[in-house]
Each structure stands twice: as C-alpha cells, then as structure tokens.
Amino acid sequence: MEIVNIDAMQAKRALITGITGQDGSYLAEWLVGKGYAVYGIVRRVALADPERRLSRLRNVLPNIQLHAGSLESYASLHNVVEQVRPDECYHLAAQSFVTYSFDDEFSTFNTNINGTHYLLAAIKGVVPGCRVYFAGSSEMFGKAEEVPQNESTRFHPRSSYGISKVAGFHLTSNYREAYGMYACSGILFNHESPRRGYEFVTRKITAAVAAINAGRSQELRLGNLEARRDWGHSRDYVEAMWHMLQQPTPDDYVIATGKDHSVRDFVELAFSHVGLDYRQYVTTDPAFFRPAEVNVLCGDASKAKRAFGWSHRVEFEDLVREMVDADCRALATAQNSAFL
C-alpha cells in the first residue's frame, strides 16, 4: 500500500466509526492511500490496549488520528464530530454478530439504532454538508422473496440485528429526504478476509483448519452447513463504500459478487486446501443453529456497476485459500516464536 504524506489542513477529512474492525482497517488504508486525513472513533479501552485492539491498524497507525467515543453516547459522538469536522463519515461500527443479537436484542438495538441516530443527528447539527455512508447489510433481506436480491427487494429481517439494520437504513434515507443530507446506505453482502473476527463462520473454519493441520485440534463444531451466502473480499467492498460517496447524488447500493455458496462448500474447500477431508473433523452442533435462519443470500450489484463501475475482484475460491493460508502462517509464526 502506498502511503501519502498529507497536509491535514488541505486534505479531505474522513471520519470512520468501527475503524478497528476488518472493514474499518481496510477502508482506513484505502483513504490514506487516496490522500485523506483519516480519523477514527474508538472505545477508550482500545486506546489503552493498542497492541491487541488496534492490531488491524498496524499498517496505518502513524497516518491516522484516533478519538475516544462511544455509540452509546450522543455527547461523545457530537464532541468528536465537532473536533474533526469531517467531509465524509463512514459509519461502520455496530454490534455485527447476528448470533449475539438473539442473546441480547436490547443492546443490539441500543448500539445499532440509537448509535446510528446519534451520529446522523450530530453530523446534521455540526457539519450538515458532510457525506455519510451507513453500513447496511444483506441481513435486511433475511427471508428474501427473490434470488438474487437487489435494491428493490422487500426487506424481511430474521434477527434483531437485521431489524436494527433496516432501522438504520430508514434513518439514513430519512436524513437524506427530510434534511437534504448526502447520506447513502451500502447493502453489503458477506465480506471476509484474514482480518475477519473469529466468531464469524468463515474465520472460525479457517482458524480451525490451521489448528487441525498443525495437530493442535481434532474437531470443528458448526451449525447449519446448508446456509448459503454470497461471500466477497472486504478489501474490494470498502472501495465501493468510497465510490458511493463520490457520486453526484446520494443513493443506496447493493454490493455483492452475485454467486452464492453453502457453508459446507466453504468447509470442504478450506479443508481440501491443506489436503484434509472435512468429513473426518466437522460435526454439527445444535448450539450453533439460530432460532431463525437466513437460508440463502445472493446479491445483484449491477446498479453499483452501472453507477461507478464497481465489481468484485476476488473470487470465492481465492478468498478461502487466502484465509486458510493466512491462518496457517500465523500459527506457524506463533509456534516458531514459542520456541525462541
């Protein structure tokens, strides 16, 4: 990645919520590369524990500025927006784990709905000309009535996470329609990478493959192997976020590869990449099934392609291999350093 030295007074200012996560870290790299002055909102605890909590930002840490703030506090968001006065704001932070949203609907709603509302209201009050990106989700389609799903497909969320994203989507379009703000929602389908959190199925699988391959584990317990998802690479998807905010008028876009695969397909490919047969290691466990499942998500991103020429670059097979290789390498490095 090329890092440009910028004069923060001249450069466009981008504020990212959720900057420490998978998407936030790739987006920060993309924006720094484009010459933006990049600011992030992080929890105070992250600033106190940079080694662990800011690890995904290691490529860009010297080139960005972090501010403590919380989605649960309007005052803290208002404060940061006032200090940064961003030209563009990317709202990625959320309680994003669907399974957890069944365990605690209330905190999912608080973080995802109120947090989005607080941020939009703060921007409207302080910098109404700021362009805002809201991270919508294919989980809004849920039990979709058509395949593939596009911007006109009816929402039928199947979890409080999905409901919270539908609310955020409507809040975002309402700020656009009622107050004339430049506010867009990206309806992103599943996107993964070696920076994915371990709670999501793809990373759970690739980390387990690495551990089993290294002789450190013998079993992988999963839930519904037949669920189908449209999996792309996070690095491709954050570029689409930026493109959305460069258009002449604000709008909402589906971002997806247009191809779906089952969890079983992912598992099979991940194990076979290291020469193993998944059937010897994988068992299904009712504990990992959801009270309401989304059986198939597959997106049609042709509107984004028409508007700004976006399409995915990384194919499913390459994504799986990249994630497995990265986890195998990480484990080997950890093993080697344990012997030092």
Binding status of residue 288 toward ligand G4F by CB under 6 A: yes
- Minimum CB separation of residue 6 from ligand G4F in Å reads 31
Segment near ligand G4F (CB under 6 A), from 3-11, 38-46, 224-232, 246-254?
224-232
**Distance from the Cα of residue 12 to its chain's centroid:** 23
Q: End-to-end CA distance of the chain: give it in Å, rounded.
A: 31
- Minimum CB separation of residue 187 from ligand G4F in Å reads 9
Segment near ligand G4F (CB under 6 A), from 118-126, 150-158, 285-293, 329-337?
285-293
Binding status of residue 43 toward ligand G4F by CB under 6 A: no
Binding status of residue 138 toward ligand G4F by CB under 6 A: yes
Respond yes or no: is residue 139 known to be catalytic. yes
The DSSP code sequence of 111-180 is IIIIHHHHHHHHHHHH-TT-EEEEEEEGGGT-S-SSSSB-TTSPP---SHHHHHHHHHHHHHHHHHHHH-
Please identify which of the residues 26, 161, 175, 253 carries the catalytic annotation: 161
Considering only 223, 258, 262, 315, the residue that binds ligand G4F (CB under 6 A) is: 223
Binding status of residue 204 toward ligand G4F by CB under 6 A: yes
Q: According to DSSP H, which parts of the chain are helical?
A: 22-33, 44-48, 50-53, 74-84, 98-103, 105-109, 115-126, 160-179, 201-213, 234-244, 263-273, 302-308, 316-338
Binding status of residue 222 toward ligand G4F by CB under 6 A: yes
Binding status of residue 179 toward ligand G4F by CB under 6 A: no
Q: Please name every residue paired with 262 in a beta bridge, in sequence order, or none if there are none.
A: 228
Considering only 54, 93, 119, 263, the residue that binds ligand G4F (CB under 6 A) is: 263
- Minimum CB separation of residue 112 from ligand G4F in Å reads 10
Respond yes or no: is residue 26 known to be catalytic. no
Respond yes or no: is residue 237 known to be catalytic. no
Binding status of residue 149 toward ligand G4F by CB under 6 A: no
Considering only 12, 290, 307, 315, the residue that binds ligand G4F (CB under 6 A) is: 290
Please identify which of the residues 88, 139, 192, 268 carries the catalytic annotation: 139
Binding status of residue 227 toward ligand G4F by CB under 6 A: yes
Segment near ligand G4F (CB under 6 A), from 62-70, 167-175, 194-202, 327-335?
194-202
SS3 for 220? Answer: strand
SS3 for 42? Answer: strand
Binding status of residue 30 toward ligand G4F by CB under 6 A: no
Whether residue 144 contacts residue 153, with contact meaning beta carbons closer than 8 Å, is answered with yes
Total residues contacting ligand G4F (rule CB under 6 A)?
Answer: 23
Binding status of residue 98 toward ligand G4F by CB under 6 A: yes
CA angle 233, 209, 338 (to 5 degrees): 105
Name the residue with tokens 């998978």: 22
Binding status of residue 99 toward ligand G4F by CB under 6 A: yes
Binding status of residue 270 toward ligand G4F by CB under 6 A: no
Q: Please name every residue paired with 40 in a beta bridge, in sequence order, or none if there are none.
A: 16, 66
d(CA 261, CA 226): 9
Please identify which of the residues 76, 101, 137, 185 carries the catalytic annotation: 137
d(CA 15, CA 170): 21
Give the burial class of 75: count Cβ atoms within 10 A of its Cβ; 0-12 exposed, 13-18 middle, 19 or more buried.
exposed
Name the residue with tokens 């590369």: 33
- Minimum CB separation of residue 52 from ligand G4F in Å reads 21
CA-CA-CA-CA dihedral for 186, 63, 195, 259, to nearest 10: 30
Q: Which residues bind ligand G4F (CB under 6 A)?
A: 96, 98-99, 137-139, 189-190, 199-202, 204, 222-224, 227, 229, 263, 288, 290, 293, 297
Q: Supply the residues annotated as catalytic.
A: 137, 139, 161
